[in-house]
Structure 1
């Protein structure tokens, strides 16, 4: 038969093995793969470092941008000053051009009386005489407004042998470059006794010589407002050399167009 040999001494407390005590804090590191823990530590350390580097780069870029903004502000102020000076120059130039154009306009409206009188002498028929010649001031349409024709007009009075001679004189004046054809007309034309000169007076007592009748006329016209620069050839024909030379000089400088 078999016998059981059981040692009950091992179950006593005196025979129990006591655990070994280790020095230090009683912390135990987990066993197994520690790579995830190392990665987490590395990320925790590197993230603040990256944030610090990024902040430093942003600060440097901000300073650089502030410098560029300040430089652009200075350039903008300089450009504003230059633009203001250019605007002043443009304003002054426009004012000078306006004054020059006004002077040129007045100069270009000059009608030399020497040329006009010569034109009348060339156009008057042989049977027509001029007694009086006067200039008519320009007519202002509305108060405060400039006249339509600053040159004004003229009025001619005299004697003619017949009505036909007066009409011939009118037609001749209507062809003048210095007068407006549509505004040249006969105001009055009447038969009157011709004035007797001392040479024709009769010396015999009681003898009366009846003078022949002639036509006393009045012709009125408006001066042409064509610029003098367009009448150069006509002015040259009438001997107005000085005005023609001045106009050509201004045409060469570009003040008056050719």
Structure 2
């Protein structure tokens, strides 16, 4: 008797796929490939972009280094020039200080000719001057004036009376060449009037006796007013040379007019 043996496993798909000797097939995806192309392009462009940026930054750094080096050289030159300018300024200040010192000394000059002429113009008719000399200011005078560098004058002579001596003192206190606050009478005494030479006796042989007079001594400190402020007085006293020099200095601006 015959038997029918049918194998239905061979007809199954799973069985057929796992059968040895059968290779799986690779199938390309179908559809739109744009995203793939975009991603591939981005992947290729990013390295190129970073490379270009790196090259640009390197070139820019080199350029900046050159500019910094150039600025350093210019800075050194400017510092050298500034140093020279500062030296010139210091020298200028020194010259100005020396010039100002010379001008200050020059501006304190008191010509004796102008001062003596001022005394002659102020002396009353009843007063005579015997001597005029420069002395050191007394302690009292130094305490009354702020500046005693110019010294003081001592005037001695004779006057007809004490009132005449007082009048002479008042006229001296009005002088621009003297410090009025320090002008004072230091001595004033009655003495016999001096006789002219060769007239000791009268015609009848008797000695001549004249009225007594006042022998005085007046002391006054020289004014500390700058000579540039006494131009009018100096011109009136005939001190032309000093006035000309002062005006020349004023023209160049060393002292104010």
Q: Report TM bin, short chain.
A: 0.7 to 0.9
Q: How does 1:108-257 map to 2 (within 5 A)?
A: 108-137=107-136, 148-202=147-201, 207-257=206-256
Is the Cα contact below 8 Å between 1:139 and 1:152 reproduced in 2? no
Per the alignment, do residues 52 and 29 of structure 1 end up closer, same or farther by CA in structure 2, a change over 3 Å counting? farther
Q: How far apart are 1:31 and its partner, in Å?
A: 2.7
1:187–1:220 Cα contact (<8 Å) kept: yes
Alpha-carbon RMSD across the aligned residues, in angstroms, is: 3.0
Matched, 1:82 2:85: no
Number of residue equivalences: 242
By how many angstroms is 1:83 displaced? 0.8
Deviation of the 1:218 alpha carbon: 0.8
The TM-score, its normalising length taken from structure 1, stands at 0.82
1:144 aligned partner: none
Q: Deviations for 1:165-193, whole angstroms, at most 9, x for unmatched residues?
A: 10111111111111111111111111122
Describe the SS at the equivalent of 1:189. Answer: strand
The worse-fitting range, judged by mean Cα deviation, of 218-227 and 148-157 is 148-157
User: Gaps spanning 5+ residues in structure 2: where?
Assistant: 140-145
| TM-score with structure 2 setting the length | 0.82
Q: 1:205: Cα distance to partner?
A: 10
Partner of 1:106: 105
3-state SS of 1:8 partner? coil
Between 1:51-60 and 1:37-46, the stretch displaced more is 37-46
